[in-house]
Amino acid sequence: MPMPILTNPKRIFHLIHQIILEVIPGNSFSFNIHLNNFHYNNNIDLKNRYYNERYKYSKGKYFPMKQIMKMWNPWWTEGRVPASKKRIFRPETLKKILKLLDIREVVCITGVRRCGKSTAMYQAIDRLIGRGVKPENILYFNLDEPFEEKGIGLLDRLFNEYIELHLPKGRKYFFLDEIQNIEGWEQWVKKFYDLYGEEIKFVLTGSNSTMLSDRLATLLTGRMITQHVFPLSFKEYLEFAGFELKDADIQRNEILHHFNKYLFKGGFPEVVLEEDKDINHLRLGEYFNSILLRDIVAGKKIRESAKLIELANYSLSNVSTLLSYSKISTATGLSVNGLKEYLLYLEQAYLIYQLNFFSYSVKNSISIKMPRKIYCIDNGLRNSVAFTFSADEGRLAENLAFVELKRRKVEFFYWKEKGEVDFVIKHRDGTLTGINCTYTDQVRAGEIRALLEFKEHFGEKISRLVLLTKNLEKEEAGIIYIPLWKWVLKIE
């Protein structure tokens, strides 16, 4: 029997309230509403009331700010960060962040939800304490919590009560998690940055690229350095698996075993550490819902949530495919303008990326008439929600290669005439590298023809042609054949 859709706000709130009181005997609480079963599109105020009530009862009673701060900062009493907060160790990511702690600028850590931003914060805090920074000089606060007040007044209150509680001397470190939830946070950070100078070091995280808006750039120009965090790279995945890479050629079969798992499982840290497929499927589904609910539906006050979900599913089901706005509009029932807006929201939440056609003319490259290619931040996330009826190895391989190029911070596009080149890297000197991705060793003639056509079209501008394969290595007709697993490990 299908679950009934409740429409009476008072009745819905009463039921949620009862659930909260019955489910929580004294532990923290997480309650998710599935959009297909509970339609609150026109009840944003109701949703906020639910979150406030959830927070109010999360430990059986309401906590004052000082007590909340003590809960979030156990090192004030224990002198160290609990092991459970720092168990997912990513040395390369941590190294990049630690280098930024000694300078004055605000550090902003961005990335999709659950990719490890908060853990990186905890590990940085642990290192600071290890260096001799007094624990009470370090404040961590999670602004993703459902506070009734979401403006800079909350930040003022947080700062004032922290100073009243500790009155710490020397440099203070403020770690503010999911700062994008606070309206006007940029002005508040700028004010305190300018007022206190070296006395306060801000480290922020955010799960939405609107943090890097033009307004923010204007307010914090010269005051902020951004560090983007992705889900685990394949190299990190191997480290998590306890595999020590010594000689890639001798260990080839072992590496391929792990790579095939990584290709389908993805790189979200908690997912990589979990072996149970059913749990991971549920976990990734929750990640997907959280991105849509918190970062888009609630944050952007979306009314057509069902359309947004349909668009997200359609996009993830069609990664690496050439798609025009008119085609997606027909498939989802969204107008072209509404479609462009929703795709932007999905991109701002780091769920998807859109890849443009390559042309030396910027106008032609971003033309609405040119199809886009859509990619997902993580293969595991994509597989958990996409409508697929085959293994999709080819699409997953291309999606993985796309994310690796984003990780390498290169400027790239796709190109198509008779044949299609999956990725075109535009180097700083204007030269081009063409890359086609085919997760097989039986390379189709069309893949080769497309690269040669690309070379003929751009002539001396071409610096390199690459074919990413499953395990085939050679150089022929000016094309370098490299196994995808070697390429992502940067072993060429």
Contact of 33 with 3, CB cutoff 8 Å: no
Residue 384's φ and ψ, nearest 5 degrees, are: -75, -20
pLDDT in tens, 89-119: 899 999 999 999 999 999 999 999 999 999 9
Amino acid letter for position 95: K
Helical axes 65-72 vs 152-166, angle rounded to 10°: 80
Beta bridge partners of 469: 483
Integer-rounded Cα Rg, in Å, for the chain is 24
Specify the higher pLDDT residue, 250 or 13: 250
63-228 folds as Rossmann fold (3.40.50)
pLDDT in tens, 200-233: 999 999 999 987 766 676 788 889 999 999 999 9
Classify the C-alpha dihedral 28-33-39-42 as positive or negative.
Answer: positive
- The pTM score is 0.86
pLDDT in tens, 396-413: 999 999 999 999 999 999
Please determine, for residue 331, whether its predicted confidence score (pLDDT) is greater than 90.
yes
DSSP secondary structure, 252-291, as one string: HHHHHHHHHHHHHH---HHHHH---HHHHHHHHHHHHHHI
**Domain 410-492, CATH 1.10.287 — does that match?**
no
The percent of residues in the chain predicted with pLDDT above 70, rounded, is 85
From CA 277, how far away is CA 220, in angstroms rounded?
44
Let me know the angle formed at the C-alpha of 130 by 129 and 133, rounded to the nearest 5 degrees: 40
From CA 220, how far away is CA 212, in angstroms rounded?
10
pLDDT in tens, 452-482: 999 999 999 999 999 999 999 999 999 999 9
From CA 40, how far away is CA 49, in angstroms rounded?
12
Give the 3-state secondary structure of residue 176. strand
* Domain ranges for the chain: 1-60, 63-228, 410-492
pLDDT of residue 43: 43
pLDDT band of residue 150 (cuts 50, 70, 90) is confident
Please determine, for residue 2, whether its predicted confidence score (pLDDT) is greater than 80.
no
DSSP secondary structure, 386-402, as one string: ---SS--HHHHHHHHHH
Q: What is the mean pLDDT of the chain?
A: 87
Half-sphere exposure of 208 (CA within 13 A, CB side): 24
Q: Which residues lie closer than 8 Å to 476 by C-beta, 6 or more apart? A: none
pLDDT of residue 4: 41
